[in-house]
């Protein structure tokens, strides 16, 4: 199966762009007041992370830590609006981050892939009819008192909404039907609906617009967290969120645990920040995803060698090509031609004779090896992704290679042309042992090194 999973790099296949409809959404919550000060109710609930199937888990990423210099971000920050909630969550990680979220009234727990690269959230929806067993954790709309469908007349369902390319149609019941068809042959389709996320009796969202999939090629849903107006982050009025992905461990029977914050992260005083690049609505560049979390990658070093790649290669050109995005839903890192070719040439120079000839994992990874991964990694050296303000994502040589199958080890970097898009993606495997904060109000990204497995305990 081609490289993109149902949950990864959705913005490369269909750009889930901004809707022109204004969604006025408030979160219902309770507060406690002490000495004239108000504190938000705080809730913890578990995230689980399950491996994508071998057919969809084709974006193996390198593990990393981040090194940032002591330069401070002197940008004048906006005072964030009162955050509607502040949660600390835990999750288990292998190849994808799967959050178990309580949806409906009473709540039904639904597994959803935490994906900063897509907008519309969707869940599996099936009535528990005995004739056709639904996916294991599917949502039964008939059991929820707060579930409602969107009619064809709803503005989101109109096909010519500016900046919104979600394929919709009117079904035989005059309900808004959506269809996602991806380049790798996977798909999800169903109706657009409204439903609550119900965290407790006193803490819940109002009904949010979601996809309610009745047909799909994967048993899980999506928690869309990009900058689009229909994302969970936007509809729920989240001002910031962050996560810490632990070091990936392939030991049978063990899955490492990380942390995920919705709202304030008490560790943020240790973060170093870089600006998030944003684009005007008027910029209609065909290869650009304006809703992605875009950053200014400056360069790449391997084994202490600075590769001869112009920083312009990592920036969107007049047509949008070259954009660099952070994506929790992607596993591989993908680079445009010029950058990928330079990385591969350096790897060939260092360990070319050891490369597994004629082997391409998942149709995308062609820098693969048999033998001792630690020894090969030592020959390659550390890999460093350089950003502004001295911020660096450092992939130690001990973890440059990822085990894929049958004792084969691959460098988790592929050519983005194989996705059909001239863009750069930094996926979750390059975000290991790293706090990544998405500060939506101040349009910036925060980073900090951490032992993510230890912090989650």
Q: How far apart are CA 133 and CA 268, in angstroms?
A: 45
**What is the band of 38 on the pLDDT scale with cuts at 50, 70, 90?**
very low
Q: What angle do CA 72, 77, 83 make, to 5 degrees?
A: 120
Report, as an integer, the average pLDDT of 252-264: 86
pLDDT exceeds cutoff 60 at 218? yes
Q: How far apart are CA 366 and CA 355, in angstroms?
A: 9
Q: How far apart are CA 195 and CA 146, in angstroms?
A: 6
CATH ID of 275-455, from 3.50.50.60, 3.10.180.10, 2.40.440.10, 2.40.70.10: 2.40.70.10
Which of 46, 446, 435, 455 lies closest to 244 in space, CA to CA? 435
Higher pLDDT, 35 or 224: 224
Higher pLDDT, 367 or 161: 367
pLDDT exceeds cutoff 50 at 21? no
Which secondary-structure segment (H or E) carries 187?
Answer: strand 187-195
Report, as an integer, the average pLDDT of 24-49: 34
pLDDT exceeds cutoff 80 at 75? no
pLDDT exceeds cutoff 60 at 41? no
Of all residues in the chain, the percent with pLDDT exceeding 90 is 45
pTM: 0.80
Q: Which two tokens stand for residue 407?
A: 């004792």
Q: What are the domain boundaries of the chain?
A: 10-16+43-57+86-262, 275-455
pLDDT of residue 77: 58
Report, as an integer, the average pLDDT of 336-363: 94
Q: How far apart are CA 127 and CA 111, in angstroms?
A: 17
Report, as an integer, the average pLDDT of 312-317: 96
pLDDT of residue 126: 81
353 SS3 class? helix
Higher pLDDT, 133 or 199: 199
pLDDT of residue 271: 96
443 SS3 class? coil
pLDDT of residue 16: 32
Q: How far apart are CA 415 and CA 337, in angstroms?
A: 6
pLDDT of residue 129: 54
Residue 306: other Cβ atoms inside 10 A:
11
**What is the band of 49 on the pLDDT scale with cuts at 50, 70, 90?**
very low
Which pairing describes strands 297-302 and 383-387: parallel, antiparallel, or unpaired? Answer: antiparallel
pLDDT of residue 455: 84
Report, as an integer, the average pLDDT of 33-51: 35
Q: How far apart are CA 234 and CA 229, in angstroms?
A: 5
pLDDT of residue 34: 36
Contact 5, 222 (CB under 8 A): no
Which secondary-structure segment (H or E) carries 232?
Answer: helix 232-235
pLDDT of residue 60: 32
**What is the band of 11 on the pLDDT scale with cuts at 50, 70, 90?**
very low
pLDDT of residue 81: 55
Which pLDDT tens digit goes with each residue over 186-210? 678 899 999 999 877 777 888 999 9
pLDDT exceeds cutoff 50 at 71? no
Higher pLDDT, 134 or 242: 242
**What is the band of 10 on the pLDDT scale with cuts at 50, 70, 90?**
very low
Decide whether 10-16+43-57+86-262 matches 275-455 in CATH topology.
yes
Distances in Å between the Cα of 357 and the Cα atoms of 348, 366, 411 are: 12, 9, 14
Report, as an integer, the average pLDDT of 327-344: 94
pLDDT exceeds cutoff 70 at 79? no
**Weakest-pLDDT range from 7-16, 384-393, 413-422, 434-443:** 7-16
pLDDT exceeds cutoff 80 at 22? no
pLDDT exceeds cutoff 60 at 65? no
**What are the start-end ranges of the H helices in 299-409?**
337-351, 373-380
Of all residues in the chain, the percent with pLDDT exceeding 70 is 75
Q: How far apart are CA 371 and CA 382, in angstroms?
A: 19
Higher pLDDT, 22 or 293: 293
**Angle, helix 373-380 to helix 337-351, in steps of 10 degrees:** 110
pLDDT of residue 64: 31
What's the CATH number for 10-16+43-57+86-262?
Answer: 2.40.70.10
Identity of the highest mean pLDDT range in 161-165, 166-170, 360-364: 360-364
pLDDT exceeds cutoff 80 at 152? yes
**What is the band of 273 on the pLDDT scale with cuts at 50, 70, 90?**
very high
């Amino acid at each position: 199966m081609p490289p993109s999973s149902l949950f990864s790099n959705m913005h490369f296949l269909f750009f889930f762009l901004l809707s022109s409809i204004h969604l006025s959404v408030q979160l219902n919550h309770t507060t406690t007041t002490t000495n004239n000060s108000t504190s938000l109710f705080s809730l913890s609930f578990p995230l689980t992370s399950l491996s994508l199937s071998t057919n969809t888990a084709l974006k193996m990423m390198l593990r990393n830590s981040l090194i940032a210099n002591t330069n401070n971000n002197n940008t004048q920050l906006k005072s964030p609006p009162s955050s509607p909630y502040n949660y600390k969550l835990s999750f288990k990680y292998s190849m994808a981050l799967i959050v178990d979220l309580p949806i409906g009234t009473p709540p039904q727990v639904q597994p959803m892939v935490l994906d900063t690269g897509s907008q519309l959230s969707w869940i599996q929806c099936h009535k528990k009819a005995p004739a056709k067993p639904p996916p294991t954790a599917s949502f039964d709309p008939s059991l929820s008192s707060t579930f409602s469908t969107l009619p064809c007349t709803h503005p989101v369902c109109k096909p010519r909404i500016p900046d919104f390319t979600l394929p919709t149609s009117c079904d035989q019941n005059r309900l808004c039907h959506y269809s996602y068809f991806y380049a790798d042959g996977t798909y999800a389709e169903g109706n657009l609906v409204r439903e609550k996320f119900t965290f407790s009796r006193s803490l819940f969202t109002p009904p949010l617009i979601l996809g309610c999939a009745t047909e799909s090629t994967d048993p899980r849903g999506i928690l869309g967290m990009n900058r689009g107006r229909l994302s969970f982050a936007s509809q729920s009025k989240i001002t910031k969120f962050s996560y810490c992905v632990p070091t990936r461990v392939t030991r049978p029977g063990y899955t490492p645990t990380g942390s995920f914050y919705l709202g304030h992260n008490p560790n943020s005083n240790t973060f170093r920040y870089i600006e998030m690049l944003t684009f005007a609505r008027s910029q209609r560049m065909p290869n650009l995803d304006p809703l992605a979390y875009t950053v200014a990658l400056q360069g790449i070093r391997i084994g202490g060698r600075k590769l001869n790649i112009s920083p312009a290669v990592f920036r969107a050109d007049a047509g949008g090509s070259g954009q660099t995005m952070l994506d929790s839903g992607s596993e591989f890192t993908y680079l445009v031609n010029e950058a990928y070719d330079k990385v591969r040439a350096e790897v060939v120079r260092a360990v070319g004779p050891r490369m597994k000839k004629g082997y391409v994992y998942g149709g995308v990874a062609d820098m693969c090896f048999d033998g001792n991964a630690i020894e090969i990694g030592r020959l390659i050296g550390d890999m460093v992704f350089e950003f502004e303000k001295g911020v660096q994502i450092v992939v130690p040589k001990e973890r440059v290679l990822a085990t894929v199958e049958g004792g084969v080890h691959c460098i988790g970097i592929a050519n983005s042309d194989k996705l059909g898009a001239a863009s750069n993606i930094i996926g979750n495997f390059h975000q290991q042992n790293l706090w990544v904060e998405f500060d939506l109000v101040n349009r910036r990204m925060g980073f900090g090194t951490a032992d993510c497995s230890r912090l989650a305990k």
